Amino acid sequence: MKCTCGGRMFDTNYHTRVCFDCGVETFAGYAPANQVYTPHGNRALPPTYSRLGRFRELIRRVFAIDNGPKATDPVWEYLKERSPFPNVAAIFHTLKASRLENKHYSNVHLFSKVFTTYEPHRFTSQELRCLVEYLCQLFENTLHKWNLNSMKTFFSYSWLIEQYLTHCKLHFFLQYVKQLQCPHRRKKYELKMSQLNDTLPENLDIVSHVRQNVPGDRFLSEIPVGGSHHN
């Protein structure tokens, strides 16, 4: 099953489907397979979909600190045959034009290291890990408010990552995010965010915080992640 954006859909164990790429969640109906009686004891439960786990995975890929596609994945040979690429945008365009079942848009940062003349950032691996934790805190704050408001659909992960990176002035990494093009959906998410009263902390220079402090639980707990929660 594929999403309208072309991404793969994941079946949750609470009767919905979630897109791996854009994060859209839709009701999938009650699966008969989950209601079948068996005399052999309880069936093993399917793995639970974790929004935070998915977000962490995606942001690690944006920073190129996560494992890429396996070596046998056809995306590697597809890009190799068409390389080198002049820039990151050309990789996105090539993947979009492909007939690959999984286009691996979230791994474009890694692909750019392999198939373009790569211009590296200046963050250490320790700094990137700390940034991942802070961005996950921002996401948890948004997710908590979303749960409190009982909204039916969630945000696009790519759109949220774009907002967080922009707010934190991590502009270098925006080129590796497949940005949402539809103005209607962008407006919808902006309205939804305002309805949640999910305001990001103002005048926060997260990069300076990371580079001037030793990463740790105390360091992260001292950085604001947003306003108070509202019912």
Structure tokens, 119? 């211009």
pLDDT per residue as tens digits for the range 117-137: 999 999 999 999 999 999 999
Output the pTM of the full model.
Answer: 0.73
Structurally, the chain folds into a number of domains equal to: 3
131 and 162 inside one domain: yes
Contacts of 139 (CB under 8 A, 6+ apart): 51, 52, 55, 160, 164
Query: What average pLDDT does the segment 31-51 reach?
Result: 56
Q: Is residue 92 part of a domain?
A: yes
- Looking from the CA of 199 toward its CB, the CA atoms found within 13 Å total 7
217 and 141 inside one domain: yes
170 and 97 inside one domain: no
Q: Is residue 199 part of a domain?
A: yes
pLDDT at 19: 75
Residue 11 burial class via C-beta count within 10 angstroms: exposed 0-12, middle 13-18, buried 19 and up: middle
Within 10 Å of residue 185's Cβ, how many Cβ atoms?
16
More confident residue, 197 or 65: 65
130 and 217 inside one domain: yes
Written as one string, the DSSP assignment of 128-156 is HHHHHHHHHHHHHHHHHHHHHHT-SS---
